[in-house]
Amino acid sequence: MNERIRELYEQARLQAKSIDADIDPKGWMDEYHRKFAELIVRECVLISRTSTDGFSAGRRMEEHFGVDN
CA distance linking residue 3 with residue 64, whole number of Å: 9
* Distances from the Cα of 43 to the Cα of 20, 46, 65, angstroms: 27, 5, 9
CA distance linking residue 52 with residue 64, whole number of Å: 16
Mean per-residue pLDDT for 31-57? 84
Q: Which of the two residues, 51 and 15, has the higher pLDDT score? A: 15
Q: Which of the two residues, 32 and 45, has the higher pLDDT score? A: 32
* Distances from the Cα of 57 to the Cα of 10, 12, 34, 39, 44, angstroms: 25, 24, 23, 17, 8
pLDDT of res. 36: 94
pLDDT of res. 54: 65
What percent of the chain has a predicted confidence (pLDDT) above 70?
Answer: 94
Give me the half-sphere count of Cα atoms (radius 13 Å) on the Cβ side of residue 60: 15
Considering the entire predicted model, what is its pTM? 0.75
pLDDT of res. 1: 63
